[in-house]
Structure 1
């Protein structure tokens, strides 16, 4: 009887009900809220849902699925991993070793048509301009007392590219990965809400109503040469971005070559889905109560919003310059698509433009800056990594 009593007592002492802290309870509630946004509001559900559930798992008391100590100091403590590693500790290795984000880019490449960008190379300028928010916020974060590595990780949120933000943060400031990932994907999901007021505030009714000329046809040869050429040029200029750009362009070459249909479909479906699950759950697991519930996290979320807004504004303002120098032939709304939220930002440009002129069709014109933004955010990440790593 005494053994039975001791066994029951041991079970109770080791249960989550007894060991639950106030911080863990609050984080579990936050995970519920993110699940609500993903399921009910459909805010980036493919990644927000696994991130939210990963946040739930890591804050379950006594579950031992993720251990911060294994990855402290920016290093993998293999002895601790062998001793007490949990399921998510092993999944997180794909983030820490920089494996998951490039594989996500591989899938994105197979789903991306670079034709609008090739047809209108000036779109590269809009994609580059929209990255200004990254660097403005980087300096702002420095002023507020963040370390250079942390400031770079916060600034990259302005690119509105979740995998790039995760790739950069995992190498520069892994202790901030949870808050930065949640902020990056939340703002990506809120593109239709955040961008339109900025776009309308910075443009006139006349500018928003501009109808652009139809893009020229792009040859198959151009589409084949483009990913190879971009890989070489960008990787030579910024070698640190080669993993992202290389996988993005390899995926696009799969798509455009027409000879590896099986590989293309696998990259954009099965592989993309598997990596998305692993990435989301393991990144969400870094949002422990100790890390997430701090004034620093609130500062990161606020700075991330500023970065995204500045990136949108910079793209629109550069679009206005192109409107002026082209004699009114460029609709400045397409500049807002220079952030890397593909294809949502391009759809927002289309929607805002059609409100002023129902016959206007800006989607394909906006896709040029949009895919340029994917390349631009990867290049910006490479610049930050080369300077700060």
Structure 2
């Protein structure tokens, strides 16, 4: 009889419900909110849905879905060795849960973010930027949001590695944010990833007020000349030259830019259509699932519910807003230098939320003049922003992780 009582007590002690902390309740609610936004409003559903549901699961006590810490203090000499790291964590914290395996073998090793870039390259048409190379300058100008957010984070007390990871949110590029944060400040990965993807989905709400505040009605009505046709040869040469030049100038950016350009070369070569389709569809779908689940698993109550998280979410808005403003202001400068032939709104597309920000610009142009079509012109800065953010991340890695 005593044994039965002990078994009943042990059963109740092992119930997650009795071990639920207020923090777990809050994070489960946050995860469910992300799921709701993904389904009800289709806010970046491909990422926010798996992030949200894994955030719910990882906050169920005693579920053993994630047994290892997000940013453990590893002995010197094993941090860069995945096998030694896994062995050490297994000895210290016991067998891994499914989310530990996903996070440490696919996210922390940068495999998934790099494969995302490979898929993005296969889906991206760099033709508009090649047709009008000067629009790439707007993509570079929009990166000012990265540095403004970084300096603001430093002023608020974040360390240099964390500030760089927060700043890169301004590039509006989720995979780059995850890649850089994983290397520099994994302890804030959940917050930076959620900020990046949440605000990317809010681009249609964030950008228009800023664009209207910085441009006049007449400027938004400016029509641009049709872009010249881009030859297949140009489209093939571009990724090859880009990966070599950027790799030689900023070697730390070579993994991101290299994978992006390999995927693009598959697309533009025309001789590996099956591989290109696989990169765009099957591979992209698989790695997106793992990316979402891995990021969501970092949203644990003990590490996510902090004052820093709220500050990071606020700095994400600063990053996006300043990046948009930087692109538009540089667009106005180019408008002046071109004699009024460039619509300054396309500078807002310099944030690399492809193709969402370009569509926002086109919609605003159509509102002022239904016959004004500047979508392809906006795609130039838009795709340039992807490269610019990757290069910025490479610079941060070269300076801070060297």
Distance, in Å, in 2 between the alignment partners of 1:274 and 1:27 is 26
Asked if structure 1 preserves the Cα contact closer than 8 Å seen for 2:211 and 2:345, the reply is yes
2:82 corresponds to: none
CA–CA distance in 2 between the matches of 1:329 and 1:200?
Answer: 19
Q: Is residue 138 from structure 1 mapped to residue 150 from structure 2 by the alignment? A: yes
1:289 alignment counterpart:
301
Structure 1 residue 20, shift from structure 2 partner: 0.5
Among 366, 384, 389, the residue aligned to 1:377:
389
- Displacement, 1:388? 1.0
CA distance in 2, matches of 1:302, 1:197: 18
Alignment of 1:249-268 (within 5 A): 249-268=261-280
Match of 1:324 among 336, 343, 354: 336
Return the match for 2:366 from 342, 346, 354.
354
Q: Which residue of 1 aligns with 2:62?
A: 62
Match of 1:209 in 2: 221
* TM-score, normalising length: structure 2: 0.95
Q: Structure 1 residue 123 and structure 2 residue 139: aligned?
A: no
SS of residue paired to 2:54: helix
Counterpart selection for 2:206 from 184, 194, 217: 194
8 Å contact kept, 1:51–1:284: yes
Q: Which residue of 1 aligns with 2:189?
A: 177
Partners of 2:195 and 2:68 in 1: CA distance:
20
Task: Give me the whole-angstrom Cα distance separating, in 2, the residues matched to 1:68 and 1:160.
Answer: 29
Q: Deviations 1:323-379 (Å, cap 9, x if unpaired)?
A: 111111000010000001000010001001111111001110000000000000000
CA contact (8 A) 1:346 1:366 kept: yes
The structural deviation recorded for 1:137 is 1.4
Moved over 6 A (4+): none
**In the alignment, what sits opposite 1:300?**
312
1:38 aligns with 2:50: no
Q: Within 2, Cα distance between the matches of 1:150 and 1:35? A: 27
Residue aligning to 1:28: 28
Partner in structure 1 of residue 99 of structure 2: 88
CA distance in 1, matches of 2:67, 2:11: 22
Q: 1:71 offset after TM fit, Å?
A: 4.0
* Residues 70, 77 of structure 1: 8 Å contact kept: no
Counterpart of 1:338?
Answer: 350
In structure 2, the partner of 1:311 is 323
Structure 1 residue 7: deviation in Å? Answer: 2.2
Q: Could you tell me how far apart the structure 1 residues matched to 2:332 and 2:70 are?
A: 50
1:77 CA displacement: 4.9
Identify the residue that residue 162 of structure 2 maps to in structure 1. Answer: 150
TM-score (normalised: structure 1): 0.98
Deviation track 1:24-77 (CA, whole Å, cap 9, x = no partner) reads 011000111111110001000000111111111211110111134374137435
8 A Cα contact 1:70 1:81, kept in partner: no
- Does 2:255 align with 1:243? yes
Query: How many residue pairs are counted as aligned between the two chains?
Result: 389
Q: Which runs of 5+ in 2 are unaligned?
A: 80-84
| Corresponding residue of 1:9 | 9
Name the residue aligned to 2:73: 73
CA distance in 2, matches of 1:122, 1:73: 46
After superposition, the CA RMSD in angstroms is 1.1
Structural mapping, 1:219-238, within 5 Å: 219-238=231-250
Change (3 A) 1:194 1:70: closer
CA distance in 2, matches of 1:221, 1:73: 50
